[in-house]
């Protein structure tokens, strides 16, 4: 199992290049740039890294066809791929933060994703594309300059219907916040979907988005983890049921607004929720705490690898350079 780094939405092209080159020196597989309505463009964010790096993969996460037509998505992706000499990747999504920012809702998500994947994977410098989809049309598309090794195209989703779509059309699938026991079941189902689609599981990538908060300053780490806890599986019972009992799940569900308020305020204070429950949630669905938590994190990463992940996508937060250093010096060697 390899390690990818997910940068936050505020990373500039210069910062992404510096952090990405640092990750490359440590031997990490890839760097992802987050995509939000208020962020820099993720393709542009990765442009300097694409030009300056030599080995590491890089890509935007996640881009929805509902926010960007697949033809324009293809041009941006192939341009990034050209700049990096065939090291680009992309995670296509159904639409989230950007759609909210522009006042749109998810509509016909699976159909839109299917057509987007077909366009991205079907584009060729050698053959003219005329695509007449139910949602998206592409006429006379033949990017003759697209001659590098094709980029990796992932779909990002935790749901069975999207999993089957990915198994049919994509190069890989990225989930989020699946604990190892859930991941093991999901990987087995994905492999079954691949075989049903006539594809080999050996050639398919499976990743999982996971939050990294571990820092030398344990208190700062826990404050960061508490602030971000609302985003962990968006507090859906499915992701917490493996380690919370029914009463704890009910408390979590009853206080969704308190978790959300902490996130919106950028505060570690989650009102009206027992500290013991918050600590239990953080401990099981993210990596957080001081340096003494690196060994438990390595054990969890090994469990993810045993479950069948080909990569783990670690989201770094307030001090990304420190996180990359800790992962590169303490974690990567233990996984090799």
Nearest 5°: CA angle at 1, between 114 and 238? 60
Tell me whether the omega of the peptide bond preceding residue 108 falls within 30 degrees of 0, making it cis.
Answer: no
Closest to 183 in 3D by CA, of 307, 3, 311: 307
**All residues at 6 or more sequence positions from 275 whose CB lies less than 8 Å from its CB, including other chains:** none
Residue 246 Cα to chain centre, angstroms: 29
Please give the backbone phi and psi of residue 202, each rounded to the nearest 5 degrees, phi first: -65, -25
Q: What is the pLDDT of residue 10?
A: 80
Ranges of the chain with pLDDT below 50:
none
Q: How many CB atoms lie within 10 A of CB 18?
A: 17
Q: What is the pLDDT of residue 105?
A: 75
Q: Is residue 136 within 8 Å of residue 69, measured between CB atoms?
A: yes
Alpha-carbon distance of 63 to 68, in angstroms, equals 7
Alpha-carbon distance of 197 to 169, in angstroms, equals 9
Alpha-carbon distance of 51 to 125, in angstroms, equals 22
Q: What is the pLDDT of residue 111?
A: 94
No. of H helices and E strands in the chain?
Answer: 16, 10
Q: Is residue 146 within 8 Å of residue 123, measured between CB atoms?
A: yes
């Amino acid at each position: 199992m390899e390690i990818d780094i997910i940068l936050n939405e505020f990373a500039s092209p210069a910062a992404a290049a510096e952090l990405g080159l640092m990750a490359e020196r440590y031997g990490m597989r890839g760097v992802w740039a987050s995509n939000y309505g208020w962020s820099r463009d993720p393709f542009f964010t990765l442009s300097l890294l694409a030009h300056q790096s030599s080995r590491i993969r890089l890509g935007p996460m996640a881009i929805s066809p509902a926010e960007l037509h697949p033809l324009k998505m293809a041009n941006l992706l192939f341009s990034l791929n050209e700049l990096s000499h065939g090291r680009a990747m992309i995670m296509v999504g159904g639409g989230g933060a950007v759609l909210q920012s522009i006042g749109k809702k998810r509509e016909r998500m699976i159909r839109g994703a299917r057509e987007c994947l077909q366009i991205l994977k079907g584009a060729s410098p050698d053959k003219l594309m005329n695509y007449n989809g139910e949602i998206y049309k592409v006429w006379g598309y033949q990017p003759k300059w697209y001659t590098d090794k094709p980029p990796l195209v992932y779909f990002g989703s935790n749901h069975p219907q999207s999993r089957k779509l990915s198994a049919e059309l994509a190069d890989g699938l990225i989930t989020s916040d699946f604990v190892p026991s859930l991941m093991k079941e999901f990987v087995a189902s994905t492999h079954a979907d691949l075989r049903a689609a006539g594809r080999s599981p050996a050639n398919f990538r499976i990743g999982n988005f996971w939050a990294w908060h571990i820092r030398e300053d344990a208190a700062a780490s826990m404050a960061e983890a508490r602030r971000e806890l609302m985003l962990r599986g968006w507090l859906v019972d499915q992701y917490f049921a493996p380690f919370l009992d029914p009463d704890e799940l009910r408390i979590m569900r009853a206080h969704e607004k308190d978790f959300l308020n902490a996130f919106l305020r950028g505060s570690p204070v989650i009102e009206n929720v027992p500290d013991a429950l918050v600590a239990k949630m953080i401990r099981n669905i993210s990596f957080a705490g001081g340096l003494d938590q690196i060994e438990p994190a390595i054990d969890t990463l090994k469990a993810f690898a045993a479950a069948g992940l080909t990569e783990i996508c670690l989201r770094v937060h307030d001090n990304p350079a420190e996180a990359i250093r800790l992962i590169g010096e303490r974690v990567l060697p233990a996984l090799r």
